[in-house]
Amino acid sequence: MTPLLEVEDLRAYYRTEVYGISRTVRAVDGVSFQLERNEIYGIAGESSCGKTTLIKVISGTIKPPLRVESGRVCYHFEGRDVDILHTDRDELRTQVRWKEISYVMQGSMSVLNPVRRIIRTFEDIVGTHQGIPDRRAFLEHVREHVKTLGLPPDILNLYPHQLSGGMRQRVAIALATIFHPSLIIADEPTTALDVVVQRGVLQMLKDIQAESGNTVLLVTHDLAVHANVADRVAVMYAGRIVEEAPTEVIFEAPRHPYAQHLIQSLPVIGDKSSKGSLSGAPPNLANPPSGCRFHPRCPHAMDICRQRVPEMLTVGPRHRVACHLVEEAA
C-alpha cells in the first residue's frame, strides 16, 4: 500500500548572519522515512536533535532562517499527492493544514485564544477552512464531535482559563481532529501534564487513531510515552535518524549504541542500580562531528566512525539502523 508520507534525504538548515559572520545549523541532515496509514509513529531523541525542525518541514511551516536545502517530502492523501516543498503556501494553509494534516502542540494555549470562548475557536478554524453556511448544523456537529471524544459539550461555552491543563490539551486535540485529518502531528503533547492526566490525553489520541484509522506522528523525548502508544519508533540523534523499528523490537533489542543507551536508562520498578550516563554532550549542529555524529560519545567508536557517515541498513522487518558496528556484523 502507498505510504501516507515519504520523506527522502531531507536536509533543513538554519542559516543566519550576524555582524557579517554566517552560521549554518544542520538541524535535519539526511533524514529518510515513511509514515504508513493507520499507525502511530514515534520520534524520540533528546532536545535539539532535530525533531521539531523535522515536523516544521513536514507540516509545511518553514520560515526563515530555516531553509530546506534538499530532499523530498510527499504526501499521498486520498485521491491526490501533495509535494509539500513545492506547494503554494495559500493552498497549504487552506487545503492541507487542519484538513489533511493537523498539529497538536505542547501547551494548548498556542491554539486557544485566551479571550474567546472555546466554541469561537472552533468557529474560527472551521470558518477559515470550510466555511459555516449553516450555523445550527455547525454547532450540532461540534457538540457531537466533542461528545464523541468524551468531553462534556458545555465546555464549548467556557474560556480556556476556566479549564485545567489536561482538559485544554484535550480540547486542542478535539480542534485538531474536527476535519478528521489523515495525519495528526503531536509535538510533546503531554509535557507539563502530570502522569495521570498524561495517561488520559494519550489514551484519547490512541482512541481517535484506532477509531478513525488515521496516522499519528508523535514527537516526544519521553520514551515511556512511545512505549505505551507508538507502533513504530525512530530515534534521532544530532539531526539524523539512527534507528527505526517496531516499538517492541526497539525496546527489546535496540542495535544502535545511542538507542541502547536511551532504553537502558529507562527506570525499572524495583531496580535501584545506578544507570550509567553518556560522556560528553550532544554536538553543536553548527559544527557537527565528522562521520557518525555520535562518535565522540560512543563507547564502541572505531576509526571508520570518525571518517564515514554510516549508511542506514535494514536489519529486520521494518527495522533500520545506521551504525558501522551493524555494517561490520552484516
Sites of contact with ligand SF4 (CB under 6 A): 256-257, 292, 294-295, 298, 300-302, 305, 310, 323-325
CB of 254 to ligand SF4, least distance (A): 11
Do 84 and 58 form a contact (C-beta atoms < 8 A)? yes
Q: Which residues pair with 219 in a beta bridge?
A: 43, 187
CB closer to ligand SF4 out of 223 and 298? 298
CA angle 84, 87, 92 (to 5 degrees): 80
CB closer to ligand SF4 out of 118 and 238? 238
The 3-state DSSP class for residue 115 equals coil
b/e 144-170 (16+ beta carbons within 10 angstroms → b): ebbeebebeeebbeeebeebeebbbbb
CB of 259 to ligand SF4, least distance (A): 9
Do 62 and 54 form a contact (C-beta atoms < 8 A)? no
CB closer to ligand SF4 out of 105 and 325? 325
Do 220 and 45 form a contact (C-beta atoms < 8 A)? no
Do 151 and 127 form a contact (C-beta atoms < 8 A)? no
Show the DSSP H helices in 75-222 as ranges: 89-91, 118-129, 135-148, 165-176, 195-212
CA dist 117 and 28 (Å) reads 38
CB closer to ligand SF4 out of 145 and 295? 295
CB of 305 to ligand SF4, least distance (A): 3
CB closer to ligand SF4 out of 167 and 238? 238
CB of 49 to ligand SF4, least distance (A): 14
Long-range contacts of 195-202 (CB under 8 A, 24+ apart): 197/164, 197/165, 197/166, 197/169, 198/166, 198/225, 200/166, 200/170, 201/166, 201/169, 201/170, 201/173, 202/228, 202/229
CB closer to ligand SF4 out of 56 and 261? 261
C-alpha cell at 96: 492541507
The 3-state DSSP class for residue 323 equals coil
CB closer to ligand SF4 out of 127 and 276? 276
CB closer to ligand SF4 out of 162 and 307? 307
CB closer to ligand SF4 out of 22 and 277? 277
CB of 225 to ligand SF4, least distance (A): 24
CB of 196 to ligand SF4, least distance (A): 37
Go through the chain and tell me how many residues it has: 330
In 3D space, the residue among 11, 2, 68, 66 whose CA is nearest the CA of residue 34 turns out to be 2
CA dist 187 and 46 (Å) reads 13
CB of 292 to ligand SF4, least distance (A): 3
